[in-house]
Chain A
Amino acid sequence: MTMERAFSGLMALVCFGLIYVAFGYVAPIAYDPIGPRPYPILIFSLLALLTLVVAFRPARFTQVIDLGMNKAIIKNLVLCVIALLLYGVFFETLGFPIATTLMSLAVGLLFNGKLLKTFIFSVASSLVLFVLFDILLDVKLPLGLLSGIIG
């Protein structure tokens, strides 16, 4: 079984779940002839149908996709996603400057950066971006841990 079939099949299952959920959407008063229920059901039914087609169509209709995956790449991808997730979770609590420095260091290392160089650039770019957005462009960013120290 190819990834394509597995992934499409999974999407079809999710669609069935969503269609089931959508059956509960009944408006207390009918404001318009069709109400909130049929449209989502229509969309997810079509989606379920097409994903099932992709999941089960005969092999001659499929094109071989070279995913180009190996253990090292998958490891890097997982680490990168974890770094980005943690960045999102701690964006407010750590504050933009510290969280960005840590994320840049982690992602930079994944992109083959040397430790010292990446660290210097991480600190520099988090400060530059903070000054650019928070001070110059007035896009307010969280200070987090630093809030007691600066402003």
Chain B
Amino acid sequence: MGTFDFLMHGFSVATTPQNLIIALVGAFLGTIVGMLPGLGPINGVAILLPFAYALGLPPESALILLAAVYLGCEYGGRISAILINVPGDAGAIMTTLDGYPLARQGKAGIALSLSAVSSFIGATIATIGVVLFAPILAKWAVSFGPAEYFVLMVFAITCLGGLVGDQPVKTGIAALIGLGLATVGVDAVTGIYRFTFDSVNLSDGIQFTTIVIGFFSVSEILILLERTTTGHKVIEQGKRSLLNFKEFTFTLGAMLRSSLMGFVVGILPGAGATIASAMTYASERKIAGDSGTFGEGDLRGVASPEAANNASACGSFVPMLTLGVPGSGTTAVMMGALTLYNITPGPQLFTEQPDIVWGLIASLFICNIILLVLNIPLVGLFAKLLNVPSYVLLPAIAAVSFVGVYSINSTTFDLVFMVALGVFGYCLRKLNFPLSALILGYVLGELMESNLRRALSISQGDLGILWSSPITVALWILAILMVFMPIIRNVYRKRFKQSAV
């Protein structure tokens, strides 16, 4: 079967009535979660993950739900960015720069519909990219042995260090904490209990849901508690709520360029929507030159980051599906979802679980259409939800988080442990340790150790196997480059500044 047949098969999975309803619900919830300031895609996916599992959804439906929420969040973030000048999620930070000025000029409706269209174009182009590249990459990656895998994961983690956060040391610490947490529990090879401190509740390792919800949901509640909630004034949508053809063609070039760039950035492990939207915004401003009114309400300034953040969200599925290495914090959580179902993500997924892979890819197309249709007419309804007071919203989020954690094992221990992790996560966040690195480390931890040990079993303890093949050598070089990336970047920046003076 060729790619096209597989894709058609995927559509037949994604268009069953149950999966369509799931995609619709996910898209709707995702838009709301993405729109609410403070709650981003990781929170949305983390909170919904245990329910997908507890409801007994088959793995492909669970992934479709989570993917719909993920994409929905990227759509939703722009609504609050444009209407109240507060990005709903990190990917929408750049959207506020031109979106809010447009709204104040009475063009909120145009900005909203334009950003919906550019989100759609970005995500669709990236999904086509997934269809074209993922099978090729998977075919190539099948030949990876445990040594290659181990080095690939090292590369993924150093990549994160080079790209996320201002201080690579802190990213490294966060990733190592994640790797360390993953060692808790019974050792699969020898049956020895590690770091369980004689607690039955830890013998199976720390539950993935406890970690994600503790670190993201509980710490988020604490972060939000700090900011005294000031009433935001939601701007009216203005006279015209749809963009016209001229505005569409004016921004089309920016959208297409940003989509491609977003897709490429999305594929890189660790670099997510935030970096993609910032990069494309900067480059579009450069391209526009003096003719642009960037920062004061340029339509391209709304179109390019929105196209890019949705494209990178879809692009981040490529490494997750083909290599089993997530491309973003959110896909790391989704990978955790797969492991709940005892499915190990990796290149063999394409041949062993075509339902899951192609069902998911096809549902990305479908979710996009659903989201475009939902977002243009219903934007007014979504905007009303921004007025829900936090004393109603936050307790409800807390309750749903607790229910999610409780639904997996039904123990009090998990609930208390989750709060403790939340407090720890809060401290880390306050001190600028990026939690997305931690979650990536946790997801990769077990795989990394088992691949390392398998590789060394093959070589009977000879470490040389870790750099014996051309692929491993290339990956080591890339990994080392990534470690020095921030230093190179700093030097480059300083030179640039000097020459500018």
Interface residues of A (CB under 8 A from B): 3-4, 7-8, 11, 18, 21-22, 25-27, 29, 31-36, 39-40, 43-44, 46-47, 50-51, 53-54, 57, 63, 65, 67-68, 73, 76-77, 80-81, 84-85, 87-89, 91-92, 96, 100, 103-105, 107-113, 117-118, 121-122, 125-126, 129, 133, 137-141
Contact = CB atoms under 8 A, between A and B. Distances in A.
B396 A125 contact: yes
A141 B416 CA distance: 17
A47 B173 contact: yes
A88 B419 contact: yes
A88 B416 contact: yes
Contacts of B449: 39
B55 interface: yes
A43 to B, nearest CB: 5
A77 B431 CA distance: 16
Interface of B: 51, 54-55, 166-167, 169-170, 172-173, 176-177, 179-180, 183, 187, 189-190, 192, 194-195, 218, 221-222, 224-226, 228-229, 389-392, 394-396, 398-400, 402-403, 406-407, 410, 412, 415-416, 418-419, 422-423, 426-427, 430-432, 449, 452-453, 456-457, 460-461
A29 B54 CA distance: 38
Contacts of A104: 395-396, 398-399
A36 B427 CA distance: 30
A91 to B, nearest CB: 6
A91 B402 contact: yes
Nearest to A126: B399
B395 A103 contact: yes
Contacts of B389: 111, 113
A25 B192 contact: yes
Given A77-B222, A89-B416, A139-B55, A22 B194 contact: yes
A73 B227 CA distance: 9
Interface centre among A87, A91, A117 (most CB of B within 10 A): A91
Contacts of B177: 11, 47
29 contacts: A3-B431, A4-B431, A7-B431, A18-B180, A26-B192, A27-B190, A31-B189, A31-B190, A33-B456, A33-B457, A33-B460, A34-B452, A35-B189, A40-B180, A50-B173, A76-B225, A85-B416, A87-B398, A88-B402, A89-B412, A89-B416, A92-B412, A107-B221, A108-B392, A111-B394, A129-B396, A137-B51, A139-B403, A139-B407
Majority secondary structure of chain A interface residues (helix, strand, loop or mixed): helix
Interface centre among A8, A85, A107 (most CB of B within 10 A): A107
A71 to B, nearest CB: 13
B166 A63 contact: yes
A24 to B, nearest CB: 9
Given A87-B398, A111-B394, A121-B392, A39 B169 contact: no
A103 B416 contact: no
| The 5 nearest A-B residue pairs measured at CB | A113-B391, A88-B415, A33-B461, A104-B395, A27-B190
Contacts of B392: 108, 113, 118, 121, 125
Contacts of A76: 225-226
Contacts of B390: 111-112
A51 B433 CA distance: 11
A87 B402 contact: yes
B406 A63 contact: no
Contact of A51 (B173, B218, B416): B173
B137 to A, nearest CB: 28
A40 B189 contact: no
A103 B432 CA distance: 29
B225 A43 contact: no
Contact of A133 (B167, B189, B228, B403): B403
B461 A47 contact: no
A111 B391 contact: yes
Contacts of A103: 395, 398-399
B395 A7 contact: no
Nearest to B420: A85
B65 to A, nearest CB: 13
B226 A137 contact: no
B190 A125 contact: no
A91 B169 contact: no
Contact of B228 (A29, A92, A112): A112
A76 B177 CA distance: 28
A67 B390 CA distance: 22
A117 B180 CA distance: 44
A75 to B, nearest CB: 11
A36 B407 contact: no
A36 B396 CA distance: 42
A141 B403 contact: yes
B189 A54 contact: no
A125 B395 contact: yes
A141 to B, nearest CB: 7
A32 B457 contact: yes
Contacts of A65: 430-432
Given A7-B427, A54-B170, A36 B192 contact: yes
A112 B226 CA distance: 12
Nearest to A92: B412
B261 to A, nearest CB: 28
Contacts of A109: 391
Contacts of B183: 39-40, 43
A63 B394 contact: no
A67 B460 CA distance: 50
